[in-house]
């Protein structure tokens, strides 16, 4: 597997990095395991928080350079990169401040003596992370698990190696002991062997369904914990009472952020009632205002896709959808020949028999569905193999919350395409995966919630149940 920085705006090869040998990987695992047992698991919450807090400050100090790296390696617009760095730093600080509270011993009322749950780290964890949010994805994995006392081996995407190294450098410069956070330039086969190694205790993946099937199976075979965030095809449901201008504004934000390369981005647009044509025309006109260009240019409003491979896949999906009866309402092709730009695209007439109906389009392609009433809209929203997020648009918040309760996903938002904050749990159901990141739930995925129950000696001779 080649680890290369290729600028998607112009195709320039920036840097290449060698894949680790098996011997180098073994050395990294041994170092991480030793660091966990000898140092990090014995480090207090307060001292862990000092390291993570310093990493927070360093990330903010280096915001511009980190955002520039993301623009160069995967095409993220510079303003979006700054926002991502700020959110990642907020996640660091949140868990530095709250981890001890979240993992404090929890008393249990019982007639069987004095009982409580206490939390302890598991050990060496493996993280496999994608390119589309090269810092945010790492922060969601790293901050809670490092604060819980685990140590991390991280395989980042092969297309963002400089972002991966820059993230690791934050912890090095923050004073983290060697082996607490280790970036690994390894292959998929080597990741599998990491999961077979008894020194590793779990794996967290954000990636494709195919990668999730492979790693979840490997983790299950080894009886190790796993969390899987495998993407989605979120429904964007516009109810009849919603202001149309507002809905269109949110539609552009929800589909075109990060050039459409967002797991939790709005992808299936479902409009209830008689205003479908009006919405379609306004959505098309709004998309036409986007300005493709260099992601380092502040005036650019549509960046390139991350790679030529990503663009070719998206174009293939569009062609296949059309071959099965879909109609290209707008867009449908690449923009020019320099850079990996895709026209903002809307597909209509996508029937359940069309392969596109059940696919995730990871780029600026929107699928549009009219719904005669609210019941049909909810049925369409739920008719998907994915279940990550979704959103509902209405002037009646309480009504919107009732509709949201009926949508079968891990997250639903009312009057906004997606909201991510350190205190809000993130995760999906169905083929979008399982497990939670962020919030008090995320920090408990990879800890041992151990029961301790104590009885006075004179009352201990009680019958036991197996």
Q: What are the catalytic residues?
A: 229, 263
Which tokens go with 389?
A: 């997020």
SS3 category, 125? strand
- Burial level of 408, CB count in 10 A (0-12/13-18/19+)? middle
Residue 238 contacts residue 270 (beta carbons within 8 Å):
yes
Classify 282 in phi/psi space as left (phi over 0), alpha (psi -120 to 50) or beta: alpha
Give the HSE-up count for residue 114: Cα atoms under 13 Å, Cβ half-sphere.
5
Nearest CA-CA partner of 203 in 21, 1, 212: 212
The C-alpha torsion from 76 through 159 and 409 to 404, rounded to 10°, is 0
Give the list of residues 6+ apart from residue 111 with CB closer than 8 angstroms, or none. none
What is the Cα–Cα distance from 224 to 32, expressed in whole angstroms? 17
148 token code pair: 């819980």
Distance, in Å, from the CA atom of 305 to the CA atom of 317, rounded to the nearest integer, reads 15
Helices (H), 122-266: 136-148, 161-173, 188-196, 209-221, 244-256
Specify the 3-state DSSP secondary structure of 386. strand
The span from the CA of 51 to the CA of 56, in Å, is 9
- Quick check: 274 and 318 in contact, CB under 8 A? no
Distance of CA 55 to the CA centre of its chain: 21
Residue whose C-alpha is closest to residue 261's, from 136, 88, 155:
136
Tokens (6 digits) for 58: 């360093």
């Amino acid at each position: 597997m080649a680890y290369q920085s290729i600028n998607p705006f112009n195709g320039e090869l920036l840097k290449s990095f060698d894949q680790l040998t098996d011997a180098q990987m073994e050395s990294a695992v041994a170092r991480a395991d030793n660091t966990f047992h000898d140092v990090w698991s014995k480090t207090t919450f307060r001292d862990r928080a000092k390291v993570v807090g310093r990493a927070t400050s360093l990330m903010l100090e280096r915001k511009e350079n980190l955002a520039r790296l993301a623009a160069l390696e995967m095409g993220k617009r510079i303003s979006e990169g700054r926002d991502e760095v700020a959110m990642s730093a907020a996640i660091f600080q949140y868990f530095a401040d709250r981890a001890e509270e979240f993992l404090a011993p929890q008393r249990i009322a019982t007639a069987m003596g004095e009982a409580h749950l206490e939390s302890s780290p598991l050990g060496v964890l493996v993280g496999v992370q994608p390119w589309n949010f090269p810092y945010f994805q790492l922060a969601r994995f790293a901050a809670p698990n490092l604060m819980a006392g685990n140590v991390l081996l991280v395989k980042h995407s092969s297309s963002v190696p400089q972002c991966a190294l820059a993230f690791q450098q934050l912890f090095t410069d923050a004073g983290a002991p060697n082996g607490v956070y280790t970036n690994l330039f390894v292959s998929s086969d080597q990741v599998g062997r990491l999961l077979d190694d008894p020194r590793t205790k779990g794996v967290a993946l954000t990636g494709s369904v195919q990668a999730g099937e492979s790693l979840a199976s490997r983790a299950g075979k080894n009886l190790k914990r796993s969390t899987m965030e495998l993407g989605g095809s979120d429904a964007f449901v516009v109810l009849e009472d919603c202001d149309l201008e507002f809905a269109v504004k949110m539609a552009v934000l929800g589909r075109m952020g990060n050039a459409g390369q967002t797991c939790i981005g709005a992808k299936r647009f479902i409009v209830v009632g008689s205003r479908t044509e009006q919405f379609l025309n306004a959505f098309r006109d709004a998309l036409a205002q986007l300005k493709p260009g260099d992601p380092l240019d502040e005036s650019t409003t549509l960046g390139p896709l991350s790679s030529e491979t990503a663009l070719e896949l998206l174009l293939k999906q569009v062609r296949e959808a059309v071959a099965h009866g879909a109609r290209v309402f707008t867009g449908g092709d690449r923009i020019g020949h320099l850079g990996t730009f895709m026209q903002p695209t809307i597909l209509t007439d996508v029937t359940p028999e069309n392969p596109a109906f059940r696919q995730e389009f990871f780029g600026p392609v929107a699928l549009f569905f009219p719904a005669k009433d609210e019941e049909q809209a909810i049925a369409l929203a739920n008719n998907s193999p994915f279940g990550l997020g979704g959103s509902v648009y209405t002037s009646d918040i309480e009504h919107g919350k009732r509709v949201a309760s009926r949508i079968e996903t891990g997250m639903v938002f009312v009057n906004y395409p997606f909201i991510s904050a350190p205190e809000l749990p993130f995760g999906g159901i169905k083929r979008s995966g399982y497990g939670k990141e962020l919030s008090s739930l995320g920090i408990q995925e990879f800890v041992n919630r151990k029961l301790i129950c104590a009885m006075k000696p004179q009352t201990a001779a009680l019958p036991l149940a197996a």
